Amino acid sequence: MIAQNLMLVLVLLPFVGALAAVTQPRGAQRGPAWISGATMAAGLVILAALRGPAGATWPLRASLHWAPSAGLDLAFRLDGFAWLFAALILGIGILVVLYARYYLAPTDSAPRFHALLLAFCGSMLGLVLSANVIILVVFWEMTSLLSFLLIGFRSANVGAREGARMSLIVTAGGGLCLLVAMLILGRITGSYDLDHILAAGAVIRAHPLYPPLLVLFLLGAFTKSAQMPFHFWLPGAMAAPTPVSAYLHSATMVKAGVFLLIRFSPALGGTDAWFWMVTGTGMLTMTLGAVIALFRHDLKGLLAYSTVSHLGLITALAGLGSETAILAAIFHIVNHAVFKASLFMAAGIIDHETGTRDMRRLSGLIHFMPVTGALAIVASAAMAGVPLLNGFISKEMFFAAAADWHNGTWLDNALPLIATVGAAFSVAYSARFIATVFFGPPATDLPHLPHEPVRWMRRPVEALVFICLAIGIAPDAVLGPTLNAAARGVLGPLIPHVSISPWHGLNLPLMMSVIALLAGAAIYFPFARRISEGPEGPPLLWRVRAVRLFEIGLLAVTWKWPRVLHRAAGTDRLQPQILVLVCLALLAGLGVTFGRLSPIGQRAMLAPDLAFVLMWIAGGAAAVGAAALAKYHRFAALMLLGVAGAVTCLTFAWASAPDLAVTQLLVEVVTTVLLLLGLRWLPKRNAEIPGDRLFPARLRRARDLVIAIIAGAATTMAALAVMTRPPGPSIGNWFLRNAHSEAGGLNAVNVILVDFRAFDTFGEITVLGVVGLTVFALLRRFRPADESAGRPAQQTGKAGEIDDLPMLVPSITIRWMFPVLIVFSAWLFMRGHDLPGGGFSAGVTLAIALLAQYLGADTRWIEARITVLPIRWIGVGLLIAGLTGMSAAAFGYPFLSAQARYVELPGIGAVPASTAMAFDLGVYALVVGATVLMLIAIAHQSLRSARQRERAAEEEGEAA
Amino acid sequence: MSLILTAALIYGQVALAVAALLALWRLLKGPRAQDRVLALDTFYVCIMLQLLVTGLRLGNPHFLVAALIIALMSFVSSVAAARFLLRGEVIE
């Protein structure tokens, strides 16, 4: 049980660390680094503890319930393979943290960097430890997202942004393919559990969906592991800070793809399709990657293509799938991570100390930095596969696996040859790296005079190179048991123990190694000068750039085609859009109901009431009048809209919906003022629109009128048809029955809002707050049209003619009304529990009260006396509502469960007191805040233009 | 409820509706914008009274709240409109 919990802690720990790191102060450098180092060290301790007691009972499993109804548990499992990967992730992680502590510039945000790094580390751990394939894909996509953020860490740099975007598009696209593959796997095997799927290999391979499944799965793995033709994102991602490259592109991110291939090879592998696709792609990538690497002039570019090449090697081994091949693949994953991380760090040191990564400029650095140089030379010798270093042994094992007989196809027969060629180029680029950077005449024109880096920046490189040597000299003692445990984790507990030795005697693999070393030297040294003077890429091939193809494709899909489509089928004009929308709705409605639904049902209708018929005539006439006048007489149309709204409210009241009537009346008032505020900024339309009386315009209007009448009639029919039928069993009755007994309120509408459906309300007020803030933000940048920017015509008359004391009587009335309206608002709020009213209408009332004060006097006078902080109202409202909801958890109830009772207050009597009321208070505060925020934001436009006029007048005065 | 009261209330309702229609007539016809603002204010008064009379007739106290809101707050939109006409902007 302890072991299970420790495993869950292991996955959660980096995310907790990320939270801790991101909350560090902005300029902190040491704190975040300590947090992330300590987190990873703690992870390693847990990992070591898990290895001791649990070694015998692998796989170790633990799970948290997440969404059991969907078959989704946060399930984790740990076996030898996952253990090895986790150790790699955490171990190299610590070294990267140490390195980054000295690499990051003071201007880089260390808290952000370490938080992202830790979150990435946690995602990788989750990925390798997942026992549920869907969770695995979730962590997989998280690594894609976080690597996007890490690669684009220096977001001011164009290259970093583009590299990050490219890597995200490629790897996240692959992740989507992987998700579909996992869903198919779940369908075939009936479970998303990893153990279950791995045990069902025979069923999967025989299933008709196996080919598409395999293609999708491999797309996911290949994009992540930068296999051809998806390799191009990896060199692009070299714009990342070097610690990120050292971490993501040696030990973690790109290894996720090969992790997946090896993990699923027992279930999906062993078929001809698997062999051809995986080994074929791997060998192609290995060889081409090595060839391209030789011709890169950028130090990190060379390392990037070398990574592509080594990933190809591991992929090819996964494709072979034999026991020795899997062991070799796992071994090479470790070795490559170790030497490549040290090389990336060394490249970072060189870049840091000399100011350039261009190998054509670097030369003779061994004189300036002998220790770093020696370390880098050893690491690149390991990369080339020189004996007594770790790269040599796993490459030997690769040669042995390649030379074995598998299925006798031409690819199988050609494997030893391709492997040797690839290895030869790998030797060649390693030789180039060593020869050009460290030897030759000392460089003279470097941006900085190079020297050794600070001691602690070199320590991680030293540690990694020491591991290279240790594995190379005594592989079985250092890694033997771990590797065998990992292989057993992949292939099952029954495979024989393999002991790894640095010397296998004189055999074919050794011959291949020797040939590769000699051939590599023969490729590089005669052509050294031609390579560094040539273009950045292999001869003939350098014109074909996968990046260019990707960019052309991306441009077409995201820029050109949408525009073509938009030109062909879209319009920016609103009128045709509305026309199409109305016609479509009309056709759809008619198509569904025509001939099947008579407009009048059997339900008895109310007797017509003469007064209300008259009122409705008035309302209808006003609505039509508003539509007719809206074109040239906006103000009159606005007044008519007021009439239509008033009649609507009356109808609500008459149809027994007093709540609606109350709310709607308040909204009417606010809307009228809002539209008047906006009207001031609209340019006046006095002149007629040209061509408005010509025949085509009349014809268009006639057509629109016909469509409008038909649509209106159809809507009326539909409403009539619904209302003249008896209502079916509705949820409303349940609310009416239970409003008082369950929630203690008599006003069912309000009880629904703040109790039964409180979660919806919570969402709605959040949206309202967001809308308020958005309106505010938009209006801050609002600049009126020139013709309405000046002083309104009414204020520009001669002195004496204009009214300097406008509306003195209403102003006084408004000031007197302020306390009355506040009391009214409080009254509406309190009675909302049992009678019409409630937080929303009370909030709008208070907003109107505040707004009225602005109307009654000028803005500056008001703001000198009342300070309203609408944004604070919004925040407090949301906080109150949210905290009220959460308080239910203290009593063990779900979010937003309400408590209700009446409390006897001395002097006032029985007062309803419920948590729903506190929630309603949150609604109240938020509504006040949002409404006031929006209205005041518009009102301040006048203030701003007034200030501008004053400033202009002052400047004129000074000039005169 | 006595017959006289019912008849009076119905008469009140119809009379208020006619008053509202007349106010609407002024609103539609204008001619000045000031006439329209005045007409809208009158219309709101008619609606408020209509709510009260209807509430009396139906014996429903909830109509009172809506009427109260019109009484307390509908003047805000009239003031806003008046300021718009007098000064050219609603809030200075």
Give the C-alpha separation, A829 to A877, whole Å.
Answer: 14
> Residue A907's pLDDT is what?
59
CB A649, CB A661: distance < 8 Å: yes
In the predicted model, is pLDDT for residue A54 greater than 90? no
pLDDT in tens, A613-657: 888 899 999 998 888 888 778 888 889 999 999 999 988 888 878
Q: Which CATH number do you get for residue B21? A: 1.10.287
**pLDDT confidence tier of residue A530, bands split at 50, 70 and 90:** confident
What average pLDDT does range A887-916 have in this prediction? 62
- The least confident of A334-338, A383-387, A706-710, A921-925 is A383-387
Q: Do B43 and A673 touch (CB under 8 A)?
A: no
Q: Do A611 and B30 touch (CB under 8 A)?
A: no
Structural domain for B28, as ranges: 3-87
**pLDDT confidence tier of residue A435, bands split at 50, 70 and 90:** confident
Selected residue with higher pLDDT from A598 and A220 = A220
For the whole model, what pTM was predicted?
A: 0.69
Give the C-alpha separation, A876 to A882, whole Å.
Answer: 10
Q: Which amino acid is at A222?
A: F
What average pLDDT does range A213-239 have in this prediction? 86
Mean pLDDT of chain A: 82
In the predicted model, is pLDDT for residue A797 greater than 60? no
Distance from CA of B52 to the nearest CA of A (A): 11
**pLDDT confidence tier of residue A570, bands split at 50, 70 and 90:** confident
Q: Do A946 and B92 touch (CB under 8 A)?
A: yes
Closest CA to A820 of B78, B72, B63, B74: B72
Q: Is the ipTM, as predicted for this complex, more than 0.85?
A: yes
Give the C-alpha separation, A739 to A914, whole Å.
Answer: 13
Q: What is the CA radius of gyration of chain B?
A: 16
Measured between CB atoms, which of B24, B79, B88 is closest to A814?
B79
Measured between CB atoms, which of A612, A676, A848 is closest to B84?
A676
Q: Do A654 and B37 touch (CB under 8 A)?
A: no
Residues of chain B contacting residue A638, judged by C-beta atoms under 8 Å apart: 81
pLDDT in tens, A448-476: 777 778 888 888 888 888 888 888 888 87
Task: Give me the DSSP letters along A840-862.
Answer: HHHHHHHHHHHHHHHHHS-HHHH
> Residue A909's pLDDT is what?
59
Q: Do B40 and A806 touch (CB under 8 A)?
A: no
Q: CB-hemisphere CA count at 13 Å for A399? A: 24
In the predicted model, is pLDDT for residue A307 greater than 80? yes
Query: Which tokens in the block code for residue A198?
Result: 């791995």
Residues of chain A contacting residue B24, judged by C-beta atoms under 8 Å apart: 618, 621-622, 643
Measured between CB atoms, which of B17, B30, B51 is closest to A636?
B30
- The least confident of A144-158, A343-357, A595-609, A825-839 is A595-609
pLDDT in tens, A229-266: 788 888 888 888 888 888 888 888 888 899 999 999 88
Measured between CB atoms, which of A665, A794, A828 is closest to B88?
A794
For residue A552, tell me if it sits in a domain: no
Q: Do B17 and A611 touch (CB under 8 A)?
A: yes
In the predicted model, is pLDDT for residue A739 greater than 80? no
What average pLDDT does range A406-426 have in this prediction? 81
Distance of alpha carbon A296 from its chain centroid, rounded?
33
> Residue A137's pLDDT is what?
92
**pLDDT confidence tier of residue A177, bands split at 50, 70 and 90:** very high
Distance of alpha carbon A77 from its chain centroid, rounded?
27
Helix (H) or strand (E) holding A499, with range, is none
Q: Which of A398-402, A495-499, A724-728, A907-911 is modeled with the greatest confidence?
A: A398-402
Closest CA to A945 of A851, A859, A852: A859
In the predicted model, is pLDDT for residue A535 greater than 80? no
**pLDDT confidence tier of residue A540, bands split at 50, 70 and 90:** low
For residue A402, tell me if it sits in a domain: yes
- Any CB–CB contact under 8 A between B29 and chain A? no
Selected residue with higher pLDDT from A646 and A528 = A646
Distance of alpha carbon A271 from its chain centroid, rounded?
37
Q: Which residues pair with A120 in a beta bridge?
A: none
Q: Do B14 and A614 touch (CB under 8 A)?
A: yes
Question: N- to C-terminal Cα distance for chain A?
Answer: 87
Q: Do A835 and B76 touch (CB under 8 A)?
A: no
Selected residue with higher pLDDT from A836 and B52 = B52
In the predicted model, is pLDDT for residue A843 greater than 80? yes
Give the C-alpha separation, A832 to A349, whole Å.
Answer: 69
Give the C-alpha separation, A356 to A446, whole Å.
Answer: 7
Q: What is the number of CB-based contacts under 8 A between chain A and chain B?
A: 182
In the predicted model, is pLDDT for residue A906 greater than 80? no
DSSP A795: G
CB B88, CB A684: distance < 8 Å: no
Distance from CA of B24 to the nearest CA of A (A): 7
Nearest CA in chain B to A615: B17
Number of domains in chain B: 1
In the predicted model, is pLDDT for residue A52 greater than 70? no
In the predicted model, is pLDDT for residue A409 greater than 80? no
Nearest CA in chain A to B81: A676
Nearest CA in chain B to A681: B89
Q: Do B73 and A821 touch (CB under 8 A)?
A: yes
What average pLDDT does range A165-184 have in this prediction? 90
For residue B45, tell me if it sits in a domain: yes
Distance from CA of B53 to the nearest CA of A (A): 11
Q: Do A642 and B40 touch (CB under 8 A)?
A: yes
For residue B92, tell me if it sits in a domain: no
Q: Do A650 and B16 touch (CB under 8 A)?
A: no
For residue B39, tell me if it sits in a domain: yes
Residues 6 or more apart whose Cβ sits within 8 Å of residue A514: none
Residues of chain B contacting residue A942, judged by C-beta atoms under 8 Å apart: 89-92
Residues of chain A contacting residue B90, judged by C-beta atoms under 8 Å apart: 673, 676-677, 680, 855, 939, 942
Q: Which amino acid is at A849?
A: A
- The least confident of A44-58, A619-633, A707-721 is A44-58
**pLDDT confidence tier of residue A56, bands split at 50, 70 and 90:** low
What average pLDDT does range A509-530 have in this prediction? 80
Structural domain for A834, as ranges: 746-792+805-960
Give the C-alpha separation, A710 to A700, whole Å.
Answer: 16
Q: Which of A590-599, A770-779, A833-842 is modeled with the greatest confidence?
A: A770-779
What average pLDDT does range A173-199 have in this prediction? 89
CB B24, CB A621: distance < 8 Å: yes
What pLDDT tens digit does each residue of chain B (92 aa) get?
688 888 999 899 999 999 999 999 998 887 888 888 899 999 999 999 999 998 888 888 888 888 988 898 888 888 888 888 887 777 77
Helix (H) or strand (E) holding A72, with range, is strand A72-78
CB A72, CB A192: distance < 8 Å: yes
Q: CB-hemisphere CA count at 13 Å for A390? A: 27
Distance from CA of A894 to the nearest CA of B (A): 35
- Any CB–CB contact under 8 A between B50 and chain A? yes
Residue with tokens 């709020």: A829
Query: Which tokens in the block code for residue A312?
Result: 């190809």
Q: H helices within A24-79, ranges in order?
A: 30-54
Selected residue with higher pLDDT from A128 and A439 = A128
Residues of chain A contacting residue B40, judged by C-beta atoms under 8 Å apart: 639, 642-643
Q: Do B65 and A658 touch (CB under 8 A)?
A: yes
Number of domains in chain A: 2
In the predicted model, is pLDDT for residue A802 greater than 60? no
Distance from CA of B1 to the nearest CA of A (A): 18
Q: Do B65 and A621 touch (CB under 8 A)?
A: no
